[in-house]
Structure 1
Amino acid sequence: MSHNQVTPGDNASDRPLWERSGSELKHLAELRPEELYEAAEQLCRRVSGEGTGGASVARAVGRIAEALADTRSRDCATFAVDIVGRLLPPEATDRGEADRLPRSVAAKLVKAQHLRDLEPLFGELPDGMQGPAVELRACLLGELALIGSGAGRRTLDAYAERLRELGHPLARLPRTRLDIEHRFTVRVRGLGPIKTSKQLRSRFPEVPSTDSGTVAGRGAGDTRDDERAKAAARPFTAGGWACEPEARFFTLPSPLGPDDFGISFIKELPLQCLAGEGRRGSALACATTPDDVLNELFSAAYNGGVNGQGQGGAYARLHAWDSLYALMGLPADVPFLEAVRGAADHRWLRFMAFTDWFHHDTSDVAFAVLDPTRTRVTVLAATDTDVDCDVLG
Structure 2
Amino acid sequence: MSHNQVTPGDDASDRPLWERSGPELKDLAERRPEELYAATEQLCRRASAEGPGGASVARAAGRIAETLADTRSRDCVTFAVDIVGRLLPLELAERGEADPLLRSVAAKLVKAQQLRDLEPLFGELPEGIRGPAVELRACLLGELALIGSGVGRRTLDAYAERLTELGHPLARLPRMRLDIEHRFTVRVRGLGSIKTPTQLRSRFPEVPSTDSGAVAGRRAGDTRDDERAKAAARPFTAGGWACEPEARFFTLPSPLSPDDFGISFIKELPLHCLAGEGRHRARALACATTPDDALNELFSASYYGGVSGQGQGGAYARLYAWDSLYALMRLPADVPFLEAVRRAADHRWLRFMAFTDWFHHDTSDAAFAVLDPSRTRVAVLAATDTDGDRDVLG
TM bucket by the smaller chain?
Answer: over 0.9
Q: How far 1:387 moved relative to its partner?
A: 2.2
SS at match of 1:53: helix
Q: How far 1:93 moved relative to its partner?
A: 1.4
- Partners of 1:219 and 1:252 within 8 A in 2: yes
- Partners of 2:4 and 2:14 within 8 A in 1: no
Q: How far 1:142 moved relative to its partner?
A: 0.5
Provide the C-alpha distance between the structure 2 equivalents of 1:49 and 1:263, rounded to a whole number of angstroms. 60
Task: Tell me whether 1:305 sits opposite 2:306 in the alignment.
Answer: yes
Provide the C-alpha distance between the structure 2 equivalents of 1:59 and 1:20, rounded to a whole number of angstroms. 13
Q: Deviations over 1:13-72 (max 9, x none)?
A: 111111111111111111101000100101111112232632111111011111110010
Provide the C-alpha distance between the structure 2 equivalents of 1:239 and 1:360, rounded to a whole number of angstroms. 18
Q: How far 1:279 moved relative to its partner?
A: 1.1
- Partners of 2:206 and 2:286 within 8 A in 1: yes
Provide the C-alpha distance between the structure 2 equivalents of 1:128 and 1:308, rounded to a whole number of angstroms. 30
289-298 vs 188-197, which deviates more? 188-197
Task: Tell me whether 1:262 sits opposite 2:298 in the alignment.
Answer: no
Partner of 1:60: 60
Provide the C-alpha distance between the structure 2 equivalents of 1:225 and 1:47, rounded to a whole number of angstroms. 44
TM-score, structure 1 normalization: 0.97
Q: How far 1:3 moved relative to its partner?
A: 9.1
Query: Structure 1 residues 214, 32: CA separation in 2 closer, same or farther (over 3 Å shift)?
Result: same
Q: Which runs of 5+ in 1 are unaligned?
A: none
- Partners of 1:242 and 1:388 within 8 A in 2: no
SS at match of 1:242: coil
Partner of 1:168: 168
In the alignment of these two chains, the number of paired residues is: 390
Q: Deviations over 1:175-228 (max 9, x none)?
A: 000000000010011221111111100100000011111111111111110100
Partner of 1:30: 30
Superposition RMSD on alpha carbons, in Å?
Answer: 1.5
Partner of 1:272: 272
Q: How far 1:2 moved relative to its partner?
A: 9.3
Q: Deviations over 1:341-375 (max 9, x none)?
A: 00000000000000001010111100000000111
Alignment of 1:334-345 (within 5 A): 334-345=335-346
Partner of 1:245: 245
Partner of 1:290: 291
Alignment of 1:66-105 (within 5 A): 66-105=66-105
- Residue 144 of structure 1 aligns with an amino acid whose one-letter code is L
Provide the C-alpha distance between the structure 2 equivalents of 1:308 and 1:389, rounded to a whole number of angstroms. 17
- Residue 147 of structure 2 aligns with an amino acid whose one-letter code is I
Partner of 2:208: 208
Partner of 2:151: 151
Provide the C-alpha distance between the structure 2 equivalents of 1:211 and 1:327, rounded to a whole number of angstroms. 26
Provide the C-alpha distance between the structure 2 equivalents of 1:350 and 1:214, rounded to a whole number of angstroms. 17
Provide the C-alpha distance between the structure 2 equivalents of 1:195 and 1:22, rounded to a whole number of angstroms. 33
- Percent of counterpart pairs with the same letter? 88
Q: Which runs of 5+ in 2 are unaligned?
A: none
Provide the C-alpha distance between the structure 2 equivalents of 1:378 and 1:9, rounded to a whole number of angstroms. 59
320-329 vs 183-192, which deviates more? 183-192
Partner of 1:330: 331
- Partners of 1:142 and 1:175 within 8 A in 2: yes
Partner of 1:10: 10
Q: How far 1:95 moved relative to its partner?
A: 2.6
